[in-house]
Structure 1
Amino acid sequence: MNKLFSVAFLAVIVTYFSMSCQSETTAAAQENKVDSVKVRKTKDTISITAVGDMMLGSAFPNKLNLPPDDAINSFKAVDSFLKGDIVFGNLEGCFLNSGNSDKCKGINPNNCYAFRMPDRYAEIYKKAGFNVLSIANNHVGDFNAKGRKNTARILDSLQIHYAGQLNKPFEIFELDSVKYAFCAFAPNENTVSIKNIDSAKMLIAALKKQADIVIISFHGGGEGANFEHVTRKTEIFFKENRGNVYAFAHGVIDAGADVVLGHGPHVTRAVEVYKNKFIAYSLGNFCTYGMFSLKGSNGFAPLLQLKINSTGDFLFADIVSVKQDKISRLTLDKNFTAFKKMQLLTAQDFPENQLKFEGNRISLK
């Protein structure tokens, strides 16, 4: 399976970059820039706003799992913070108006964790400001190829950038004179594997040659309050290999990544700056409705407002702490629980860190 994955994975990379180089050569010839070198200007400071898991309500198995306001006000409490050059989140489910899930065969659908958001909910993400989404996780494929294809079609129509499935491991795009490469990984079927670090590094190295800033997303690690810590080892959850998120994050930065954004554990985890590049090991449950557990640590999450320079090096990050419950849904947390948890876990898991946590800001000492 790993060998087949590697061959298919490398084929996608070779095909893309062959086409890319060919088109660039053609464009250069057309522009007749034989005797001059075009120097691209990039922004001095780049703003990246990032959050964790998002699922605004599922119409499966019935409409009772949709919020009473039809998700219109999902981001109302935080809309003023969802700003930046990049506004990122993990799309924990697919867009699909109808259909049953194979994963629910033989069990009560009311006890099955399969998420399909109505197609119209995609516009809510767009209006909120999200322009980059990960579709590398264990729920985008809940309704098989039909759900994955429909999700891709809708995101394309809204011009929201996305990546993480085998047929689209990455995307390269340009915003305000900055060329970005975005790539997403997970341990799940049909996703770009977080477990194959060597293949990931090859891809990142190739992307770095094409882009100014390389942003990596991963869905990995165990889930819940018992898995708040970054162990620096392979994490097993319900007998499933969820990857070694520490080795993965360091590996992709070694290969050229500038920012690494983690999600999947449904709780806040530590952060780290490695080789001047920022890593968030888990951004928790940001905006989730329905069957998601919001008890204890699962109900608090950070909204990350990261600043990097034109070479991708960390400048500082502000943390907006949010909380969720079944009645009030997503609101601001005046107790700053996520920031405090991030500070505590960073001190425990990375005692060698050189970060300062003060006034909801993370900076270098």
Structure 2
Amino acid sequence: MTEKLAVNSGHDDNGPVQPGLHDVDGCVETNVADGFTLVAVGDLIVTRPLTKGHHPGFSEVVEILRNADATFGNMETNILDIRSFKGSPQAEHGGANHVSLPDLGPDLKSMGFNLVSYANNHTFEWGVEGMRETCRALGQNGIVYAGVGENLAKAGAARFLETPRGRVALISCASTFTPMSRACDPAGEAPGRPGLNPLRLEERIVVTPPMFESLRQVRNALPNYRPGESNSTSLKLAGATYTTGENGGYSYRPNPIDVANVLRNTRQGKQFADFCIVTNHGHEPGNWSQQPPDYEQAFARQMIDAGADAYIVHGPHQLRGIEIYKGRPIFYSVGNFIMDDLWTPVGADMFAAYGKDPRTDTDAEVTLAEMAEGYETDAGFSDPIFHESVIAVSRFENNQLAQTRLYRKRVGHPTYLSDC
């Protein structure tokens, strides 16, 4: 490996460097030893330890995880001991009160995980106390986590893993999150706010021109709207923004401030590492979709151009596509890795949301109702598609992606699927 932190003096082989680009020699190049291997899996929705239990075929999965230099997953639960926990379940939740036993920390380490993202729609379900307890459990077990912190700067910063084949940076953000979980920096005398690193999106609902005209008529008929407030291409009604298109659907515009923040942290992360991973937790346009949202490809490519060696999406709970861009992998979702969605304890708000009574119904009956009934725009998780996923193993030679091998994970044992 070679050092690559010397700041460019103002020229490169192609002539002067444009001012303001903050170019650093080699900062976008992969710089790992031959044979460097990244394993990427999706959501870790698990409540209890698995390695000591009886799970036929799971040892083969663990072997794949342990044999990589960097093994990444999305930490979509909270680790705490409810017997001594000082916090409480929050009124906002990402669909369920995800909580796991303290033994999960060492168990994830035993499986081979050394990198996780913790920025998602479940991060703050047990408040800042739950976030801190989970961070403590991960840190005590040597698992590098990114995407959360005591303020926005810390939540967005790259975190680093040392491996024999190179130093790995991890930057994580979330486009799907509960509003109160967004971190912020200090401003004057106002302190910063703990939370996650956000990628805010402006959602636009796309409708056909006749539908758009009908919505305009509805809006103009309401007493609290002025007809002149809308234009020919978009209007706002009941908190939603509508625009016209050939077919109905959803369109997204990422917040430019958040994009700039993630880009800067990606650039800085790569300047201090040999390999850089950027991840985003996003359900858009919904768990029902096998296609990524319309903004994501351009955003992912921006991250690669800024120095990311891999871009990983988690959150949709099902498989989406894989792209190789400039010799680097973009995983638009590798699905659920573990989905043990049977939580205890469950907050009173969850009982109420599914018409259950904590005096007569059990925690399991609440979570089973959540799994079966689904949400406003999603049918729930009874469809087998939500239980299909892959383990993506990417190997690098001569600082180039040599191969991405996919193992289909199913009950029993992993099955080799294909090479990219």
Task: Specify if TM > 0.5.
Answer: yes
Q: Which amino acid aligns with 2:101?
A: P
- Please point out which of 281, 284, 287 is paired with 1:219: 281
Could you say which residue in structure 2 is the equivalent of 1:44? Answer: 34
Once the two structures are superposed, the pairs formed by residues 192-211 of structure 1 within 5 Å of their partners are: 192-195=197-200, 196-211=258-273
- Please point out which of 365, 372, 390 is paired with 1:302: 390
Contact 1:224/1:298 (<8 A) preserved: no
- Measured after TM superposition, the shift of residue 149 of structure 1 is 0.5
3-state SS, counterpart of residue 412 of structure 2? strand
* Aligned-partner Cα distance in 2 for 1:70–1:302: 19
Q: Is 1:164 aligned to 2:245, yes or no?
A: no
Q: Which amino acid aligns with 1:54?
A: L
3-state SS, counterpart of residue 331 of structure 1? coil
RMSD of Structure 2 on Structure 1 (CA):
2.7
Q: Which runs of 5+ in 1 are unaligned?
A: 1-19, 22-40, 58-65, 106-110, 234-243, 324-329, 335-358
Greater RCO, CA 8 A, separation 6+: 2
- TM normalised by structure 2 equals 0.59
Q: Deviations over 1:67-89 (max 9, x none)?
A: 9x797456445222212001111
Could you say which residue in structure 2 is the equivalent of 1:32? Answer: none
* Number of aligned residue pairs: 269
* Aligned-partner Cα distance in 1 for 2:112–2:328: 24
- Please point out which of 83, 92, 96 is paired with 2:76: 92
* Aligned-partner Cα distance in 1 for 2:137–2:45: 16
Contact 1:54/1:90 (<8 A) preserved: yes
3-state SS, counterpart of residue 128 of structure 2? helix
Could you say which residue in structure 2 is the equivalent of 1:317? Answer: 404
Q: Is 1:55 aligned to 2:45, yes or no?
A: yes
**Pair 318,161 (structure 1): closer, same or farther in 2 beyond 3 Å:** same
* Aligned-partner Cα distance in 2 for 1:158–1:129: 11
Contact 2:44/2:337 (<8 A) preserved: yes
Q: Which amino acid aligns with 1:171?
A: R
Could you say which residue in structure 2 is the equivalent of 1:135? Answer: 118
Q: Which amino acid aligns with 2:37?
A: S
* Aligned-partner Cα distance in 2 for 1:162–1:221: 20
Which 10-residue stretch deviates more, 45-54 or 284-293?
284-293
Counting aligned pairs with the same residue, the percent is 24
Contact 1:135/1:164 (<8 A) preserved: yes
- Measured after TM superposition, the shift of residue 308 of structure 1 is 2.2
Q: Which amino acid aligns with 2:259?
A: I
* Aligned-partner Cα distance in 2 for 1:217–1:157: 23
Could you say which residue in structure 2 is the equivalent of 1:178? Answer: 166
Q: Which amino acid aligns with 1:219?
A: H
Q: Is 1:332 aligned to 2:413, yes or no?
A: yes
Structure with bigger helix share is: 1
- Measured after TM superposition, the shift of residue 294 of structure 1 is 4.8
- Measured after TM superposition, the shift of residue 163 of structure 1 is 0.5
Could you say which residue in structure 2 is the equivalent of 1:255? Answer: 306
3-state SS, counterpart of residue 64 of structure 2? coil
**Pair 153,52 (structure 1): closer, same or farther in 2 beyond 3 Å:** same
- TM normalised by structure 1 equals 0.67
**Pair 183,47 (structure 1): closer, same or farther in 2 beyond 3 Å:** same
Q: Which runs of 5+ in 2 are unaligned?
A: 7-30, 182-194, 201-257, 343-366, 372-380
- Measured after TM superposition, the shift of residue 179 of structure 1 is 1.4
**Pair 104,76 (structure 1): closer, same or farther in 2 beyond 3 Å:** farther
* Aligned-partner Cα distance in 2 for 1:320–1:361: 7
* Aligned-partner Cα distance in 2 for 1:85–1:168: 24
**Pair 168,112 (structure 1): closer, same or farther in 2 beyond 3 Å:** closer
**Pair 247,86 (structure 1): closer, same or farther in 2 beyond 3 Å:** same
* Aligned-partner Cα distance in 2 for 1:314–1:221: 28
3-state SS, counterpart of residue 196 of structure 2? coil
Contact 1:306/1:316 (<8 A) preserved: yes
Q: Is 1:360 aligned to 2:348, yes or no?
A: no
Contact 1:46/1:85 (<8 A) preserved: yes
